[in-house]
Structure 1
Amino acid sequence: MKLQLFKTLPVALAGLLIGSAAMAQEAPATTFRTWSIGVNAGVLTPLSPLGGKNDFSNNKSNFGYGLYIKKQFTPYFSLRLDGVRGKLKGDNTEAFESGRVNSSPVSAFDTQLEYSGSLSAVVNMFNINMFKKENALQLYTSVGAGLAGYKPTITTSAGTSLYAGDKTIQELIIPVGVGAKFKISDAVNFDLGWTINFVDGDNLDGYYRGSNDKYNYAYAGLEFALGSGKQLAFHNPVAATYDEALAAKNTANALKSDLDAQKAENAKLRSEMADILKDTDGDGVADKLDKCPGTPAGTVVDGSGCPLATPEKVVTKVIVTEEDRKVVADAIKNLEFDLGKATIRSKSYASLNRVAGLLINKNFSLKLAGHTDNTGSDALNMRLSKDRAESVKAYLVSQGANASRIEAIGYGESQPIATNKTAAGRQQNRRVEFTLY
């Protein structure tokens, strides 16, 4: 089992490299540093402060050193491959804390820790400030498995030194640790850690007593983040999500302000159009142009709104010439309204006057069809197209044309003649068509 674990450590590291390459293909827009290496040094002690039997009454602290490589998968989780070397020492020169004197036939030991290799899962416990995108302090805990190789030397009570020989003893170890990391820059961290290593054997100190040995490693070191960008380990997704939600809220408020302004402008436009086209007596002539207000319903009126004598019905053949069509085409070409309104601009009067002359002199009938582009709501566009057609009718009637021979219809945005995706196309779609018959 131990040999199999030792063989699987390189495979696990290869898996990390492959997983990193796969994640790089789906890298987000923000670049993060996910690989790092670390070096450290500290104190190795052959006991555990968590309790258990100690084979020697005086366990000494000795120098140890190590290095590691780490892959950060999320802001909270990483895998870390550690290697540690150093010495472990202890003797029975002192009594146990209970006062009991160690009667062991072994008086001291000196173990050379040739290597200690382990793969651990590291969990960042929490961010100090949840509303800060990056924190300078990170607390973490770790647990893993690995293999330790060591050579113990013992000294008997008689002063004889016994060696384990040239063969290095290999045992499974379970490292459990905690630590604190301080970010110095985007590339460098100061690392403080403490790891307790539980050994699957009772020969670390060369003395068998029937209980597994333990040793702990307290260290300080530097970690170097590889690549470019910020460190993923110090990135706080909670704060980033909060900022995104705040930005979305501000955008929504801005859009609401624009919508309220547009509603106010539409209300103003409806009020102006209602005032311009108001026809109290329903004779087809707006109140502003009606010289005979209050005519009875059904009364035939002239362009000024005054009653006409009912003419004798005469059926005549209407012939529309090319010259007549040219007059209408010029009127369509030169017809302009104020922006978003049904008010005819004065430059259009001359060509409309010629159309009014045709209606009067040749007894033509005229159909006016108003159209708009797709800017604004369907209801507003329908109303605006109808109002513009009625505005042209009102003007022609004011010039003497017979209101009963003019039909004004609004089609809104439903019959475009060009694309609404360009300014030029939308300009063509904003029109009033004239049809003589």
Structure 2
Amino acid sequence: MKSKLFKALPVAIAGLFIGSVAQAQEPMASSTTSLRTWSIGVNAGVLTPLSPLGGKNDFSNNKSSLGYGLYIKKQFTPYFSLRLDGVRGKLKGDNTEAFESGVTNNSPVRSFDTQLEYSGTLSAVVNMFNIDMFKKENALQLYASAGAGLAGYKPTITTAAGTVDYAGGKNISELIIPVGLGAKFKISDAVNFDLGWTINFVDGDNLDGYYRGSNDKYNYAYAGLEFALGSGKQLAFHNPVAATYDEALAAKNTANALKSDLDAQKAENAKLRSDLNNLLADADGDGVADKLDKCPGTPAGTVVDGSGCPLKVPAPQITEKVIVTEADRAVVKEAIKNLEFDLGKATIRSKSFASLNRVAALLIEKNFSLKLAGHTDNTGSKELNLRLSKDRAESVKAYLVSQGANASRIEATGYGMGQPIATNKTAAGRQQNRRVEFTIY
């Protein structure tokens, strides 16, 4: 039996450490970076030289004695930790009573008293579940543990011949396999109340100084306090399910807020389109917007002036060659340079009016024709930029007509983002591409 346990020990320990590495490599949420992961514990309880899980008992009356211990624990995830335990105490038993089956124990050893000098074990501890999945911090957890270690002890036996030290009083060391269950109650962020019960399977039959051919075992039921080291909350009581739930709710609230902002922006854009349509509406088709038309309802084909009223005399036929001077081009160039619109709109800013007034005066004085070409950068969709460039060109035309220019001699066209004059990768380049070009002829 002993050789089998020693053969299985490397496999068991390898399994424990592989499990610990796998658990430790699981990514933790950023909210757990300040949690406490190290702790120490002290406990005291009852040591009894038997196991309730069955098997042969060497003595009919196994007594309970005081045991005490301490441990250090490293928590890798909310569900997994490694715990190094040390326990000392006494184990006692005698044959003053019959076995439960009624059979009298004919052992030559009447009683034993074993001093447990030490037991040191390394165990993997698994928190089985959190009590409330909707709380990020729980106050109660149940856990199970299993591991391996060594126990050193000195049995003293009493026979008909008297009391003697077993094995000449030498300290015996044996492999032990501890398996346990427990419940932990959080008192504060730094202190827990710990209740536990561990069954220790001994790789030998000399714990009680009497050999019967079956391995001995003893159990330790204890209560104690655990002290979490460091600052912050305890990782062992952290509930990532609830934390994820809260993060999902926060993400949902953020998405709802963004949707509300998007709906508000859509409503604002719809209002701007409506306002622009009202500004450019021309019911009688004479080329003068209704808001600027002083003579609405003129018949189709009627030649009108800049205010939308019919001309009293036919417009003179220009037969001479149109000559555009450098001074004329300078007026137009200045208007282009000073032309500004509200962000994302076709509304001309007031600082542009002075230079546009000079262009209108030039058109009236020399009866020039003017082509307006609106352009944008590549921010936004193609359809939106095409509409915005057309609206801005029409807005400039409407303003010039309001200053007396001949609407029939002004052409307004939008090209969107299709004809850039600079790169759209920089703010300066995009500023150059947002323009309305003036061409007089």
- Structure 1 and Structure 2 fold alike (TM over 0.5): yes
Q: Distance in 2 between matches of 1:284 and 1:163?
A: 120
Residue 425 (structure 2) pairs with residue 407 (structure 1): no
Equivalent residue for 1:109, pick from 100, 108, 112: 112
1:267 match = 270
Letter in 2 for 1:409: T
CA offset digits 1:17-54 (Å, max 9, x no partner): x979x97x999463122122222221110011222211
After superposition, where does 1:140-219 map in structure 2 within 5 Å?
A: 140-219=143-222
Relative distance call for 1:235 and 1:257 in structure 2 (3 A) is same
Q: SS at 1:351's partner residue?
A: helix
Q: Distance in 2 between matches of 1:160 and 1:269?
A: 105
After superposition, where does 1:198-347 map in structure 2 within 5 Å?
A: 198-290=201-293, 291=295, 293-296=297-300, 301-305=304-308, 309=314, 312=317, 314=319, 316-321=321-326, 323-335=327-339, 337=341, 341-344=345-348
Contact 2:197 2:220 in 1 (8 A): yes
Equivalent residue for 2:83, pick from 62, 76, 80: 80
2:94 match = 91
1:357 match = 361
Relative distance call for 1:137 and 1:400 in structure 2 (3 A) is same
Q: Which moved more, 1:182-191 or 1:132-141?
A: 182-191
Relative distance call for 1:123 and 1:346 in structure 2 (3 A) is closer
CA offset digits 1:278-321 (Å, max 9, x no partner): 12344432233343635436x66543445674754625142322
Q: Which moved more, 1:122-131 or 1:219-228?
A: 219-228
Contact 1:6 1:147 in 2 (8 A): no
Q: TM-score, normalised by structure 1?
A: 0.86
Relative distance call for 1:96 and 1:260 in structure 2 (3 A) is same
Letter in 2 for 1:352: L
Q: Distance in 1 between matches of 2:266 and 2:95?
A: 91
Letter in 1 for 2:287: G
Q: Distance in 1 between matches of 2:119 and 2:103?
A: 33
Q: Distance in 2 between matches of 1:275 and 1:115?
A: 93
Q: TM-score, normalised by structure 2?
A: 0.85
After superposition, where does 1:31-70 map in structure 2 within 5 Å?
A: 31-70=34-73
Number of equivalences = 431
2:374 match = 370
Letter in 2 for 1:110: D
Deviation at 1:59, TM superposition (A): 0.6
Q: SS at 1:73's partner residue?
A: strand
Relative distance call for 1:97 and 1:366 in structure 2 (3 A) is same
Q: Which moved more, 1:337-346 or 1:391-400?
A: 337-346
Letter in 2 for 1:200: D
Q: Which moved more, 1:164-173 or 1:70-79?
A: 164-173
Deviation at 1:65, TM superposition (A): 1.5
Letter in 1 for 2:321: T
Residue 431 (structure 2) pairs with residue 434 (structure 1): no
Deviation at 1:114, TM superposition (A): 1.8
Letter in 1 for 2:332: V
Deviation at 1:122, TM superposition (A): 0.6
Q: SS at 1:385's partner residue?
A: helix
Letter in 2 for 1:161: V
Q: Which runs of 5+ in 2 are unaligned?
A: none
Q: Distance in 1 between matches of 2:49 and 2:382?
A: 83
Q: Distance in 1 between matches of 2:145 and 2:14?
A: 20
CA offset digits 1:323-363 (Å, max 9, x no partner): 32343344345545566543445664443232112112223
1:386 match = 390
Contact 1:60 1:89 in 2 (8 A): yes
Contact 2:156 2:163 in 1 (8 A): no
CA offset digits 1:379-415 (Å, max 9, x no partner): 3343233222112212222333233332222344564
Q: SS at 2:300's partner residue?
A: coil
Q: SS at 1:319's partner residue?
A: coil
Deviation at 1:425, TM superposition (A): 8.3
Q: Distance in 1 between matches of 2:195 and 2:355?
A: 89
Q: Which runs of 5+ in 1 are unaligned?
A: none
Relative distance call for 1:420 and 1:389 in structure 2 (3 A) is farther
Q: Distance in 2 between matches of 1:138 and 1:329?
A: 79
Contact 1:374 1:420 in 2 (8 A): no
What is the alpha-carbon root mean square deviation over aligned residues? 3.5
